[in-house]
Structure 1
């Protein structure tokens, strides 16, 4: 009988030729046994396919799928549908994974029957020696096993929590049981994904050990800009995220009642949309976006969920400026 892989490492690749060698070398240095490497080539047009193939012999189980370009969520979902491992990981190819990361998370998960095992990381800045710890230890320290909502409460209240998949491994049966998947075509889809997973999870554990370097660089989709068009697209993505977070809160009312920050984060992410409005230079585009914010109920959603005096004050001081923009 074939042994079930301990871990399925699922990675989406789109035009990643400059990062792939380091990424695969990072995985090799994990010295994992009985795991599967699942690579989803999301319609790359560079030499990614050739580099991927050159690493096939480096892994015991190396599965490659090529799909038409549909974005990271669709690629992850495709990999998820093919995965057979007991646990799942979703690293990004342009980051640095420290040796021992997956061994440590698997040990935590197996020892304590976790739904989610998670660790700390660093922001590393391109062309700079600067780095910054993602979760400062004085804000978030290692935990025992917690229910997901308790961990989410602690994490959000630290005001330093980052909604990402790549610091975590997930119990595959837990993901199957809840039929979780990534939202196709949505940038920053990790925000609703992480929120719902933690509200649903019964057993979560965090180690403050730093195992992952998140590279902030100019080639990242998250950090590219092409002016007003980018800002408007970003605002539309975040408007959808706010609606998704609101739907999630309604699916888990008892747990959300114990985690006030679930509402706080809707208003907080909404403030990000208002900052995006400020960046738009074209008056007509700016006016249209503000009209959408009111007409589609986004403003009401932000205001209803602004559950602190500071948030209400920050939103309130913007209200009349926004109304003036669309009445002129």
Structure 2
């Protein structure tokens, strides 16, 4: 936004704006629970943090057939210095397999239809249109991958911490977390996937687990990690979907020229790649109001064979959705 506003000013010979980005990591530190300057962490907070649905894949743990060598620092001993973790499941991701990219546009009416189908019973948490759309895409991707029955798959869902921790919008950095939402494919999943409301409710329930106090416990835990960069909170490949969203980020509102003759934004594209990446963004258009007023674009990256099956899936556009 700051870049675009400066560009518009330069283009129109107007006075330059004064951007005010905030670089203050201590604000994030202050959101941590307990005393992060103590010699040892609080065991109760550590326990609370590690009960949350978060992957702890360890870059330092060597496994067979990993695509590139791992160089674990010699000073680290997994049994003493490092916190508990899991090996990276490289067997689930063929990094050399060709990956296809598609942009799936869902109209406002289609999203409303999916949302209607995803409404849970009165005893379940209410789901948003975002929850419903993600549940739909995740379900169809699981079908397209043709995984065996009883396989556990994960939606690695990225969510922001600014609203949850009352951080200002100009706070520099990327304060995010990624929760690992599991589902177990049934024996009949290829012909009868789980009801949409069930998957959408699972997404909503997992997001609701990350209360302010829960996030504060995770920040406390992270403050005591000897080597936090070794932990991967998400993964790709046939058993994973890594989802992020630009909804509400203002990406479709960025204009670099300005003025009445300014050309309309025509397309927004992320620079990503990898089997299982999914990004959701508002559709472009003149309608105002809810973020789905102009529909939504869902950018999907999948192994080529799975993408072909996804494209031919009648249920992707409403047929067979339950």
TM-score by length of 2: 0.22
Relative contact order: is structure 1 or structure 2 higher (C-alpha 8 Å, sep ≥ 6)? 2
TM-score by length of 1: 0.22
Pick the structure with more helix per residue. 1
